[in-house]
């Protein structure tokens, strides 16, 4: 990968009085049980504050583009960025205006009334179907409208690492029309992942969880030849256990992946470690009956929903000597207290590693915050699970590639 132009470069060129389109990842969870939805985890909002703050302090007029959820390409009040804009204003301790649309009259009015240092959040960019269109011309049309909001001297800053693996209008196409720069968050994410794919300190351990082997197959294939330990938990471990011929009851299994798992087990040898015991339940429910059983003896009618205490100790022992750790995916259904012990135990073990630990975004980052573990105990918590995995697989990230090309500058 080549060098990226940075916010430092943009500010040194002079940004006061100029409009800057800042693509952020503000896809955060909401509590919608009351009349007004509120943000329940503002980690991604806080992650973009360094870039946003520097632009504001330099006198830029910052227009934030972001998405929330999957609104099917049309306005949907359930996915409005209103609660996100409200929380952003609280964190900045200054007014943040939400435009009433993406590039229409509401957006043009809000941007047109901006003063130096002001912040406007455009409404959910996925309210416009062109954002995610597979048609290059449709995406380019929306990108042209986004760029047109800025007027003369506009610039683009990409700071939403969680979406840089998507070839979308506000991520990729707009960077072809404007001078394009990497925000502080994108820079830090890319630097960390380059460390993992370069020459990481050893021993190098990878911990993978989540539901499906198929979701992680690419990264397993890419990392297996390079890691010293690969620890597999979460729902995906049951497909590996089934591939070994063990009884897995009603646990989640991708039967079509059995041959793939057999191949991986053969190739990995002692490097791949599976759970020795699991927490099983008689139903997928917080109040289900539970018990701890050997991983190769799950009773019929029961399902594995977490790794067990012996597995946590085994994983912790394997992680203790590591000097580099990458973790992606919870060890169980951590949202339910009865099945959170495995994720907590492994997270604690990773936090105690005397080396560099990377939490690979998505559910893993959510688990860290849900379980109340301080971010500071980890070397880096990524904001982009899918983007992190695709980077480690060696795939091209369109939103990074276009930045390397420098946009229209």
Q: pLDDT tens digits for the chain (409 residues)?
A: 468 999 999 999 999 999 999 999 999 999 888 878 899 889 899 999 999 999 999 999 999 999 999 999 999 999 999 999 999 999 999 999 999 999 999 999 999 999 999 999 999 999 999 999 999 999 999 999 999 999 999 999 999 999 999 999 999 999 999 999 999 999 999 999 999 999 999 999 999 999 889 989 999 999 999 999 999 999 999 999 999 999 999 999 999 999 999 999 999 999 999 999 999 999 999 999 999 999 999 999 999 999 999 999 999 999 999 999 999 999 999 999 999 999 999 999 999 999 999 998 778 888 888 888 898 999 999 888 889 999 999 899 999 999 998 766 5
Contacts 24+ apart (CB under 8 A), 102-109: 102/127, 102/128, 102/131, 102/142, 102/145, 102/146, 103/128, 103/142, 103/145, 103/146, 103/148, 103/149, 107/149, 108/149
According to DSSP, the β-strands at 290-294 and 277-281 are antiparallel
Backbone angles phi, psi at 39, to 5 degrees: -75, 130
Range list for CATH 3.40.50.1260 in the chain: 7-188+396-405, 202-354
pLDDT computed for residue 409 by the predictor: 52
Neighbouring C-alpha atoms within 13 Å toward the C-beta of 83:
20
The fold of the 7-188+396-405 domain, in CATH, is Rossmann fold (3.40.50)
The annotation status of 364 as a binding-site residue, yes or no, is: yes
The annotation status of 363 as a binding-site residue, yes or no, is: yes
The annotation status of 304 as a binding-site residue, yes or no, is: yes
The annotation status of 361 as a binding-site residue, yes or no, is: yes
Sign of the CA dihedral with 368 first, then 374, 375, and 377 last: negative
The annotation status of 26 as a binding-site residue, yes or no, is: yes
The annotation status of 395 as a binding-site residue, yes or no, is: no
Among 257, 275, 252, 190, which residue's Cα sits nearest to residue 220?
257
pLDDT computed for residue 371 by the predictor: 87
The angle subtended at Cα 280 by Cα 274 and Cα 282, nearest 5°, is 150
pLDDT computed for residue 407 by the predictor: 66
The annotation status of 385 as a binding-site residue, yes or no, is: no
* C-alpha span between 160 and 65 (Å, rounded): 10
The residues carrying an active-site annotation are 44, 212, 362, 386
* C-alpha span between 82 and 123 (Å, rounded): 8
Supply the pTM of this predicted model.
0.89
Q: Does domain 202-354 have CATH number 3.40.50.720?
A: no
The annotation status of 27 as a binding-site residue, yes or no, is: yes
Q: Would you state the structure tokens that stand for residue 142, as one six-digit string? A: 């929306």
The annotation status of 68 as a binding-site residue, yes or no, is: yes
Backbone angles phi, psi at 309, to 5 degrees: -65, -35
3-class DSSP state of 84: helix
């Amino acid at each position: 990968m080549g060098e990226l132009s940075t916010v430092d470069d943009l500010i040194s060129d002079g940004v006061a009085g100029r409009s800057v389109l800042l693509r952020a990842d503000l896809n955060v969870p909401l509590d919608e049980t009351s009349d007004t939805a509120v943000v329940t985890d503002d980690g991604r909002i806080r992650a973009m504050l360094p870039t946003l703050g520097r632009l504001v302090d330099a006198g830029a007029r910052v227009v934030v583009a972001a998405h929330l959820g999957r609104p099917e390409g049309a306005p949907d009040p359930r996915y409005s960025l209103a609660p996100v804009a409200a929380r952003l204003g609280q964190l900045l301790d200054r007014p943040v205006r939400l435009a009433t649309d993406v590039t229409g009259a509401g957006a043009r009015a809000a941007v047109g009334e901006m003063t130096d240092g002001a912040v406007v959040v455009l409404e959910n960019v996925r309210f416009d179907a062109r954002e995610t269109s597979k048609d290059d011309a449709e995406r380019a049309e929306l990108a042209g409208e986004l760029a047109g909001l800025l007027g003369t001297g506009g610039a683009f800053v990409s700071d939403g690492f969680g979406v840089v693996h998507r070839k979308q209008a506000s991520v990729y196409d707009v960077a072809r029309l404007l001078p394009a720069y990497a925000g502080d968050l994108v820079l830090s994410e890319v630097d960390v992942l380059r460390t993992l794919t370069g020459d990481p300190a050893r021993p190098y351990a990878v911990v993978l969880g989540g539901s499906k082997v198929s979701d992680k197959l690419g990264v397993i294939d890419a990392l297996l030849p390079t890691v010293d330990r690969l620890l597999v938990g979460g729902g995906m471990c049951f497909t590996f256990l089934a591939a070994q011929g063990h009884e897995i009851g009603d646990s989640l299994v991708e039967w079509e992946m059995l041959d793939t798992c057999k191949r991986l087990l053969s190739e990995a040898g002692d490097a791949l470690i599976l759970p020795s015991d699991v927490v099983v339940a008689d139903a997928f429910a917080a109040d289900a009956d539970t018990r701890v059983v050997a991983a190769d003896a799950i009773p019929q009618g029961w399902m594995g929903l977490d790794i067990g205490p012996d597995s946590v100790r085994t994983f912790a022992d394997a992680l203790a000597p590591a000097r580099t750790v990458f973790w992606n995916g919870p060890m169980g259904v951590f949202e339910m207290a009865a099945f959170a012990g495995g994720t907590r135990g492994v997270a604690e073990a990773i936090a105690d590693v005397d080396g560099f630990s990377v939490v690979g975004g998505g559910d893993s980052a959510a688990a860290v915050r849900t379980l109340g573990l301080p971010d500071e105990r980890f070397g880096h918590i990524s904001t982009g699970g899918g983007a992190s995995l695709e980077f480690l697989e060696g795939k091209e990230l369109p939103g990074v590639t276009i930045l390397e090309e420098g946009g229209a500058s």
